[in-house]
A = this chain, B = another copy of it.
Amino acid sequence: MSVIKIWTYDWVPEGPRGFVRDLRLRWACEEAGLPYTMGSVRFEGRETNHLAQQPFGQVPFLSDGEVEIFESGACLLHLARKSDRLMPADAIGEAQMVQWIIAALNSIEMVTVPWWFLEISGAKDNGLTGWLTSRLDGLETIFKNREWLAADRFTAADLLMADVLRVPKLRAFGDRPATERYVARVTDRPAFRKAVEDQLAYFAKAD
């Protein structure tokens, strides 16, 4: 069996600790019981120092034997196919998981991340707020009616969606109790808590 290696920065400032996206892959491996090791690229000079591994200077990326993958969403899809704890084995469940992974990346994060970016840039009148409200309200309706996104069970889609939604600024934006219960439920999983602790320890070691 090939060895999974997750790459992240060697260090990050306090702010993003617990939120760097290698967490998604650590968490997936913990859920699935897949052994993995960690590797680092330098945070300093990240704009250009690992473009051969990641063309936008981001983390994480992953190696699994001869396979190398960047984009946390793509790495997650790769890991999900290795374990039925992450992805249902039937075609319908698989399709539901994939559609909700893509929805998290391309219908939710496509609005939440630029909205957050404008907020922290100090934009006076954030032009994405209406769009954000409509997307989060859509999710709230969904979470009122179900516990999990795909196949009536925890899948990698919940892992990703909860990671997208747990950002403090988003949780503070409007009162959406069903969404809040969903995020609390998913992030209460032992695999999530282990992944966060491990990430915090990893970056603290380099201080």
B99-A128 in contact (CB<8A): no
Is residue A98 within 8 Å, beta carbon to beta carbon, of the partner chain? yes
Q: Contacts A106-B106, A107-B56, A109-B110: A95 and B117 contacting too (C-beta < 8 A)? A: no
Q: Spot the interface stretch: A26-34, A73-81, A187-195.
A: A73-81
Max chain B CB contacts within 10 Å: which of A58, A91, A110, A135?
A: A110
Other than the given A69-B99, A74-B99, A110-B110, 11 more pairs (CB < 8 A) read A51-B141, A56-B107, A69-B98, A73-B106, A74-B95, A78-B95, A106-B109, A110-B113, A110-B114, A114-B114, A114-B128
Binding site for B on A (CB under 8 A): 51, 55-56, 58, 66-71, 73-74, 77-78, 91-92, 95-96, 98-99, 101-103, 105-107, 109-111, 113-115, 117-118, 121, 123, 127-128, 131, 135, 138-139, 141-142
